[in-house]
Structures are given as C-alpha cells and as structure tokens.
C-alpha cells in the first residue's frame, strides 16, 4: 500500500492526521506530540475511519529510529482505534530534532497503511 507522510512542524505540542488522496485506501493516521521544544513528554497515535477490518499495530518512530509499538489491534470498517500513547520516561531530556511519527501497520503482512509525522525542533 502507498505510504505518504504529511509533516506538521511543532516547537511544542503539535498534532496532525494524514490519509491518502482520492482512490487510495480510506482512513487516516493521526499523530500528536506533546512537549516543549526538544523536550517531548509523549507521542500519541490513532488510526481513524478504517476502510475495512484490519488487525494492525501502531509503530512509533523518530529521527533515531524505532521508539515502540502497540500490540495487535483489530479495527472494524468505518471505525477507529483508541488513542495509544508513548510516555517518555525522561521527559526533560532533549530529544533529537526531526520528525516523530506514528504509522498504522497491518499485523500479518507488515505492510504500512498510512503514517503521519510531526517535525520537532527547538
């Protein structure tokens, strides 16, 4: 499946969602980054308005690679997952500037559905 990223820039808290252009799978991945400057308190992800039933997981990653992922989640057509949040165990540490993302991935194939990123900088 096609995976595109629609970055949103945030110096502190930022949020955005990305779904594909017409003709692509329906649904969207939404990302929220909470913090101040390079101090990231948490990152949340949610897959919204699925076009079919999926068993998926949400992957969290940043400029230094993989952060964490959820367990498998089943979402029915026309519905959304809950919001899943990674809480930074060191919320006052300065994080690497760059894009922090969540991505919905089909569990049994590893294929990405959509991803969304927030650019974090000082």
Whether pLDDT at 62 is above 50: yes
Q: What is the CA radius of gyration of the chain?
A: 14
Q: Angle at Cα 8 formed by Cα 6 and Cα 12, nearest 5°?
A: 155
pTM, to two decimals:
0.87
- pLDDT digits over 9-48, tens only? 445 578 999 987 777 777 899 999 999 989 999 999 999 9
**DSSP E strands: which ranges in 1-122?**
8-10, 14-19, 28-36, 39-48, 54-62, 65-69, 73-75, 84-87, 98-106, 112-120
- pLDDT digits over 68-114, tens only? 999 999 999 999 999 999 999 999 999 999 999 999 999 999 999 99
Inter-residue contact 14 to 32 (CB < 8 Å): yes
Distance separating alpha carbons of residues 118 and 74, to the nearest angstrom: 25
């Amino acid at each position: 499946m096609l995976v595109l990223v629609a970055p949103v820039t945030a110096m502190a808290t930022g949020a955005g969602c990305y779904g594909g252009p017409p003709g692509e799978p329906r649904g969207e991945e939404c990302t929220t980054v909470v913090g101040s400057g390079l101090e990231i308190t948490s990152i949340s992800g949610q897959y919204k308005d699925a076009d079919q039933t999926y068993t998926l997981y949400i992957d969290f990653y940043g400029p230094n690679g993989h952060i964490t992922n959820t367990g498998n989640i089943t979402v029915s057509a026309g519905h959304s997952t809950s919001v899943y949040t990674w809480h930074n165990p060191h919320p006052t540490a300065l994080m690497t500037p760059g894009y922090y993302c969540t991505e919905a991935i089909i569990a049994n194939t590893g294929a990405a559905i959509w991803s969304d990123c927030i650019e974090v900088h000082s």
